[in-house]
C-alpha cells in the first residue's frame, strides 16, 4: 500500500467525501473508512438538508434566528451566519453532482418542516435523503483518479511528534499531525499512512448509549483520537436525544421516525391517548428537540410508561406513503399500520453537538489537522442542534476546510521518519467476549446516569464506574494485539469520560444538558473546553 498522500481523509460520510472530491483537484487523496464505503450516519439521514431556498417565504434572518433559538444561547453567531448564508450554494453544488431532491406538482422543491423551524425549509429525498447523498458522493468519488478509497481500514491513532519521541502534553505548542496508523481489518496489518494534511470526518458517537439511532460504527473514534493526541474538544455534554425512535427494546440501532412526520401533522400522545406537548411549549409537537425529548421523558417517568405514542391516523395515507415509504414499511414490519395504529416511540441518542473544537476553516488545535461533520464542534449548534442543520454544516465546513487546505498543501513538507506500529509483547485476547460485555457496561452507565435528565450524584456515580472500566481496558490494550472491537471500546470509554466531565463542569441547565441540581441557566453562556 502506498503510504504517503497530500490529503488523508478519515471517514466516508458526507463530510469526508465532500472534502475529498474537492481536495482531489489539488493532489493525491486517500480516504480510509472502517466499514463498507457507505456505512455512516449520513446514509441513514431521513428528514433532509435545511437551507433557505424560497426567498418569498423564508430569509437568512429567519434561519439564523431559529438556529440561535434552538442553540439556547451557546451558538457562535458568526458561524451560524456563515453556515446559513453559504448553505444554499453548497446545496446547489450537490444538485449539480446529481442529488435528486423531491419536487412538488408545480416542479418546485418540496420543502419539509421540522421542529424549531419557523417555516418549511428542508430539502429531502423522500425519507432517504442520506442514502441519496451517499450514492451521489460515492459515484463522483469513483470518477476521480486522484482519490483512493480504502474500505475496511480503521484509523487507530493520529501521528504527531509524540511518535518521534517528543513528550507531548496538553500544554505543548504546535502539536503537528503527520497522518495516522491505519489497520487493514481484512489482513490485520497496521499501516503508517503519512500525509501533508489530515481531515478527521469520523461522525458521531451514538453507540456510547444503549438506545441510539446511530449505526454500530458510530463510536466517536475521531474525537477520542484527537483527545489522545492532546487536541482540544468542547461542549461534549450536549448529546442530543431524538424524541421519536420506534419503541423496540434491544434493537440496535433503533429505527428513527423522522421529525418530518410531525412536520407533516403527526402528534404525540401519552398512552391514555392525550396530547401533552402544548403543556410544555407553544409550538407543541414541533418544539425544538431538547424540549420535546425532555417532555416525553418526563411523561414516561411520571406515568411509569415505557413509551409514548405518535399518532399519524388522521393523515392522508397516500401522501404519507409517498413522503415516508421507509417509515411506513418499517412500522408495518413491526406490526403497526400508520393509518390505524398508534406508533409507540421513545427518545434515543442521536447527535453529538460538541466535539473536536475547530475554527471557521475546520482547523483543529493541532497543526495540519482539520475536522468537520458531526465529530467537529464549529459553534453552529450551541447547546442543541436545530433539525437538519447537520448535513448543512458538514457541506459548508468541508468546503471551507478544503479552501484552507488547498491553499497551503504545497507549503507543508512531506512527513518523514515516522516509526511503524510496534506490536512487540502483545498477545491475542484471552476472551474476546469480555470486550462485548464492557461495551454494554459503558452503554448502561451512560443510559442510566448520563441521559436526558442528569444530577451531580448520577454523574459522579457514572465517573466512578467508568474509571474502573477505563483501567481494566487500558491494561488489556497494553498486552493485547490490536482489534477494531478493542479500539472502539477504548474510544467509547474516552467519549463517555468527556461527556461526563463536561457535564460536571457545566453548573447550569442549558439546552440538552439538564441537571436537577441546577434547574436554571447562568446569565453568560460559555463553552466547556477539555
Ligand atoms: P458520518 O456520516 O457518520 O461518517 C463517518 C465516517 O467515518 C464513516 O464512513 C465511518 O465508517 C468513518 N469512520 C469512523 N471512525 C473511523 C475510523 N476509526 N477509521 C476509519 N473510518 C472511520 N442530519 C440532518 O441534517 N438531517 C437529517 O435528516 C438527519 N437524519 C438523521 C437520521 C439518522 C438515523 C441519523 C443517525 C442521523 C441523522 N442526521 C441528520 C445526522 C447526520 O446524518 C449526521 O450528523 C451526518 O450525516 C454526519 O456526517 P459525517 O460525514 O460527519 O459522519
Ligand atoms: C429527522 O429526520 O428527524 C432527523 C433530522 C435530523 O437529525 O436533523
Helix (H, G, I), strand (E, B) or coil at 252: coil
Angle, CA 519 vertex, CA 515 and CA 525 arms, to 5°: 85
| Cβ neighbourhood burial of 348 (10 Å; 0-12, 13-18, 19+) | buried
In degrees and rounded to multiples of 5, residue 32 shows phi and psi of -105, 140
What pLDDT does 69 receive? 94
Query: Taking the model in full, what pTM does it have?
Result: 0.97
Residue pair 181/202 in contact (Cβ under 8 Å)? The answer is no
For ligand 1, whether the C-beta of 34 sits within 6 Å is yes
Beta strand ranges found along 323-429 (DSSP E): 343-352, 355-357, 369-371, 376-377
Residue pair 146/5 in contact (Cβ under 8 Å)? The answer is no
For ligand 1, whether the C-beta of 58 sits within 6 Å is no
**Active-site residue flag, 186:** no
Give the Cα separation of 364 and 446 in Å (integer): 27
Residue 283 Cα, ligand 2 centroid: separation in angstroms? 17
Contacts of 358 (CB under 8 A, 6+ apart): 364, 370, 371, 372, 376, 377, 378, 397
Q: Calculate the CA 262 to chain-centre distance.
A: 22
Give the Cα separation of 129 and 101 in Å (integer): 8
**Closest of 91, 209, 119, 83 to residue 512, by C-alpha:** 209
List, edge to edge, every strand of the sheet that includes 308-311: 239-246, 343-352, 308-311, 267-269
Q: What is the dihedral of CA 18, 21, 24, 26, to 10 degrees?
A: -60
What pLDDT does 427 receive? 78
What pLDDT does 423 receive? 80
What pLDDT does 2 receive? 60
What pLDDT does 287 receive? 86
Identify the H or E element spanning 184: strand 179-184
Substitution candidate for ligand 1 out of 41, 138, 353 with most atoms within 8 A of CB: 41
Residue pair 508/518 in contact (Cβ under 8 Å)? The answer is yes
Give the Cα separation of 22 and 388 in Å (integer): 23
Class of domain 4-237+353-411: alpha beta
Residue 33 Cα, ligand 1 centroid: separation in angstroms? 12
The ligand 2 atom nearest the CA atom of 386: 8
Give the Cα separation of 75 and 375 in Å (integer): 16
- Residue reference for cell 466512578: 464
The ligand 1 atom nearest the CA atom of 17: 51
Residue pair 525/88 in contact (Cβ under 8 Å)? The answer is no
For ligand 1, whether the C-beta of 285 sits within 6 Å is no
Give the Cα separation of 150 and 153 in Å (integer): 6
CATH of 433-515, one of 1.20.58.100, 3.40.605.10, 3.90.1150.10, 3.30.1300.10: 1.20.58.100
The ligand 1 atom nearest the CA atom of 214: 36
Cα 409 to Cα 160, 195, 302, 402, 418: the distances in Å are 17, 10, 57, 10, 20
Substitution candidate for ligand 1 out of 30, 94, 122, 202 with most atoms within 8 A of CB: 202
Give the Cα separation of 255 and 235 in Å (integer): 27
The ligand 1 atom nearest the CA atom of 43: 2
Angle, CA 197 vertex, CA 193 and CA 201 arms, to 5°: 85
pLDDT by residue, tens only, the chain of 530 residues = 668 999 999 999 999 999 999 999 999 999 999 999 999 999 999 999 999 999 999 999 999 999 999 999 999 999 999 999 999 999 999 999 999 999 999 999 999 988 889 999 999 999 999 999 999 999 999 999 999 999 999 999 999 999 999 999 999 999 999 999 999 999 999 999 999 999 999 999 999 999 999 999 999 999 999 999 999 999 999 999 999 999 999 899 999 999 999 999 999 999 999 999 999 999 898 888 889 999 999 999 999 999 999 999 999 999 999 999 999 999 999 999 999 999 999 999 999 999 999 999 999 999 999 999 999 999 999 999 999 999 999 999 999 999 999 999 999 999 999 999 988 877 777 677 889 999 999 999 999 999 999 999 999 999 999 999 999 999 999 989 999 999 999 999 999 999 999 999 999 999 999 999 999 999 889 999 99
Q: Active site residue: 90, 196, 262, 289, which one? A: 289
Give the Cα separation of 222 and 375 in Å (integer): 7
Residue 273 Cα, ligand 2 centroid: separation in angstroms? 25
What DSSP string runs through 158-176? EE-GGGGT----TT-TT-B
The ligand 2 atom nearest the CA atom of 240: 7
For the chain, what are the domain ranges?
A: 4-237+353-411, 242-350, 433-515
Residue 218 Cα, ligand 2 centroid: separation in angstroms? 16
For ligand 1, whether the C-beta of 207 sits within 6 Å is no
Dihedral (CA of 426, 430, 433, 434) sign: negative
In degrees and rounded to multiples of 5, residue 347 shows phi and psi of -70, 150
**Closest of 353, 359, 356, 374 to residue 405, by C-alpha:** 359
For 98-220, where are the alpha helices, taking DSSP H only?
Answer: 129-142
For ligand 1, whether the C-beta of 87 sits within 6 Å is no
- Residue nearest atom 1 in ligand 2 by C-alpha distance: 258
For ligand 1, whether the C-beta of 217 sits within 6 Å is yes
Q: What's the CATH architecture for 242-350? A: Alpha-Beta Complex (3.90)
For ligand 1, whether the C-beta of 377 sits within 6 Å is no
Residue 311 Cα, ligand 2 centroid: separation in angstroms? 18
Beta strand ranges found along 332-399 (DSSP E): 343-352, 355-357, 369-371, 376-377
Amino acid at each position: 500500500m502506498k503510504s504517503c498522500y497530500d490529503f488523508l481523509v478519515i471517514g466516508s460520510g458526507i463530510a469526508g467525501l465532500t472534502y475529498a472530491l474537492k481536495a482531489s483537484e489539488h493532489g493525491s487523496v486517500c480516504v480510509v473508512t472502517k466499514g463498507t464505503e457507505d456505512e455512516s450516519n449520513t446514509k441513514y439521514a431521513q428528514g433532509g438538508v435545511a437551507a433557505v431556498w424560497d426567498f418569498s417565504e423564508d430569509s437568512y434572518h429567519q434561519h439564523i434566528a431559529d438556529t440561535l433559538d434552538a442553540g439556547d444561547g451557546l451558538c457562535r453567531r458568526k458561524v451560524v451566519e456563515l453556515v446559513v448564508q453559504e448553505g444554499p450554494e453548497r446545496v446547489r453544488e450537490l444538485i449539480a453532482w446529481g442529488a435528486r431532491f423531491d419536487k412538488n406538482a408545480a416542479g418546485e422543491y418540496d420543502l419539509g418542516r421540522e421542529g424549531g423551524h419557523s417555516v418549511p425549509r428542508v430539502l429531502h429525498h423522500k425519507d432517504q435523503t442520506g442514502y441519496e447523498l451517499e450514492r451521489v458522493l460515492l459515484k463522483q468519488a469513483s470518477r476521480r483518479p486522484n482519490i483512493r478509497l480504502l474500505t475496511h481500514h480503521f484509523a487507530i491513532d493520529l501521528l504527531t511528534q509524540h511518535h518521534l519521541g517528543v513528550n507531548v502534553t496538553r500544554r505543548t505548542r504546535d502539536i503537528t499531525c503527520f497522518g495516522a496508523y491505519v489497520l487493514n481489518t481484512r489482513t490485520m496489518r497496521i499501516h503508517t499512512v503519512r500525509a501533508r494534511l489530515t481531515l478527521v470526518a469520523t461522525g458521531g458517537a451514538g453507540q456510547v448509549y444503549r438506545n441510539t439511532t446511530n449505526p454500530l460504527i458510530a463510536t466517536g473514534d475521531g474525537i477520542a483520537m484527537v483527545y489522545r493526541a492532546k487536541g482540544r474538544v468542547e461542549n461534549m455534554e450536549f448529546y442530543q436525544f431524538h424524541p421519536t425512535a420506534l419503541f423496540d427494546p434491544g434493537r440496535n440501532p433503533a429505527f428513527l421516525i423522522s421529525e418530518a412526520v410531525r412536520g407533516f401533522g403527526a402528534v404525540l400522545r401519552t398512552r391514555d391517548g392525550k396530547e401533552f406537548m402544548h403543556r410544555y411549549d407553544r409550538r407543541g409537537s414541533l418544539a425544538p428537540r431538547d424540549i420535546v425529548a425532555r417532555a416525553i421523558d418526563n411523561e414516561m417517568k411520571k406515568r411509569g410508561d415505557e413509551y409514548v405514542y405518535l399518532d399519524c391516523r388522521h393523515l392522508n395515507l397516500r401522501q404519507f406513503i409517498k413522503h415516508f415509504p421507509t417509515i411506513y414499511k418499517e412500522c408495518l414490519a413491526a406490526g403497526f399500520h400508520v393509518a390505524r395504529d398508534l406508533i409507540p416511540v421513545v427518545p434515543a441518542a442521536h447527535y453529538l453537538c460538541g466535539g473536536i473544537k475547530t475554527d471557521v476553516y475546520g482547523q483543529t488545535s493541532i497543526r495540519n489537522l482539520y475536522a468537520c461533520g458531526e465529530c467537529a464542534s464549529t459553534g453552529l449548534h450551541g447547546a442543541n442542534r436545530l433539525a437538519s442543520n447537520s448535513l448543512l454544516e458538514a457541506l459548508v465546513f468541508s468546503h471551507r476546510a478544503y479552501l484552507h487546505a488547498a491553499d497551503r498543501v504545497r507549503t507543508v513538507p512531506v512527513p518523514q521518519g515516522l516509526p511503524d506500529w510496534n506490536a512487540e509483547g502483545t498477545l491475542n485476547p484471552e476472551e474476546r467476549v469480555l470486550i462485548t460485555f464492557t461495551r454494554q457496561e459503558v452503554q448502561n452507565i451512560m443510559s442510566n446516569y448520563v441521559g436526558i435528565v442528569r444530577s451531580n450524584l448520577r454523574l459522579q456515580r457514572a465517573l466512578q464506574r467508568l474509571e474502573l472500566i477505563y483501567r481494566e481496558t487500558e491494561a488489556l490494550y497494553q498486552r493485547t494485539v490490536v482489534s477494531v472491537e478493542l479500539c472502539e471500546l477504548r474510544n467509547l470509554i474516552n467519549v463517555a469520560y468527556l461527556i461526563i466531565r463536561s457535564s460536571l463542569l457545566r453548573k447550569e441547565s442549558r439546552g440538552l444538558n439538564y441537571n436537577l441540581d441546577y434547574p436554571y441557566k447562568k446569565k453568560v453562556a460559555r463553552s466547556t473546553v477539555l
